[in-house]
Amino acid sequence: MGKILTLHVFVSGKVQGVWYRGWTVKEAAKLNLNGWVRNLLDGRVELLISGPGVAVGKLIKLLWEGPTGAVVTEVTTETVEEKPESGFVQLSTK
């Protein structure tokens, strides 16, 4: 399974209004990751991603691509100790 890695992530660019959160939930589920995704009022998308390091790395690469219509300009990550509940969900805008 590998070491569990948890990242706090911010994605910038044209990432709202393009189904980015729904797409992220779908991709995270395929990788059996835990965490959440939500829009921020400043136009970014925020995520907490947790799972085996290899799977987390795959999702980070996918976040740069995003769904059709997204234009990602920046993905920032920070390793954190926080552990999300099981599953990957979409939260309300903050």
Active site residues: 21, 39
The answer to whether 44 touches 15, Cβ cutoff 8 Å, is yes
**What single letter denotes the amino acid at residue 26?**
K
The answer to whether 75 touches 64, Cβ cutoff 8 Å, is yes
